[in-house]
Structure 1
């Protein structure tokens, strides 16, 4: 397996040679941020694959919300042999949005040029990270999209979840005008200048509407957004973190964003 991953790393490097600044003074120019809560069944395999395929290209930051299942211990066990792996453990379950804000601040403080959001449950294919980075050569924010070009690239979702996701996407586009087919996708790559332009203390979203808010803020500031196709595979191990509170927050958040945009506050 590791010989195959090493070969994959060589392929990854050859695909990225045109991406501005991706190879900088022998250190990684990209940071992959992975928030976790009770992901011990998934995290070790994911981190082993990422560190083998993207060594010297992308470092990894895991932000764990004090998972009772020992997720942080799994990460610590790998840190002894994976120098590109960092871990931040928070005191409690504080939400997806604040986890990413913490990760963004870390990325900017440490001088990374590209910042990638990624789930811990293998719904996002590690092999697609290279596609996000490659597309960043012509965009400021690249979004791995399940619905780009009028397609549906989702595996193992129940019909009810797919309908909810598609309706949320349509609802967001109609109210905010955001020209994105999949505004709730959590697999994306920011150029650092996008994050530097956003006042994190003004970001309101705590749950999955955080993805919508960051897209709208980047778009309203004039940055170039680009969608690339991905295949989203629903988790096979562990439990989804989606809740009714996430849905309620998203319903009112798009209206709040619309008002803020009209007032010129984004």
Structure 2
């Protein structure tokens, strides 16, 4: 009896040590083993890091995909491998779509939600990776009240500018999209009952200031200062461009400081 008890004590500790794949058999066991190998591979790959760099390293889909390929098992891939493979596939698709671009144009192309979503649709999966979930999320999702109205107004203005500048290329496109006149027109056509988006506010203020400075262009010395400080002149320019009283007051303040551009 004593011998039996001793044997039980010796066996018991090892019996209670369970691995993540304990109790699994066949294909499930292989998938689980694959996942554990990938996790070990990622720990090795990110060894020595700390804090945020560690988190970014462990979430790096390129590294995960590489570990998944190195430790391939003849079974269904674990979710982390499937997700990483789709993410890398989407990235490759977007890069192919943006081939030939350069500089800021490339960044805008690679971050375009519509383009990313189109690449995501090529992968029919029930649980899309983060890159696809982010692309499918609307820019105004989760906003309420004035913030929602301001966001929607800005999206309408952006769409309006897309139409106005359709068919342009290179520097011509940039000039079109940054034109205060174009932005002002789109802001006015799509006005909503909310505070102004920054792009509209800046365009309104810049346009009013330009209007005043055009009228004061031929002045000199003290005459110029008086011209730029003329409240009636700002009011007239504000009415001409349909700008709010609040923006006009800001424009007047900046005008008194002899600044050629209005800051929000």
The TM-score with structure 2 as length reference comes to: 0.21
Q: Which has the higher helix share?
A: 2
Q: Which has the higher strand share?
A: 1
The TM-score with structure 1 as length reference comes to: 0.21
Query: Which structure has the larger Rg over C-alpha atoms?
Result: 2
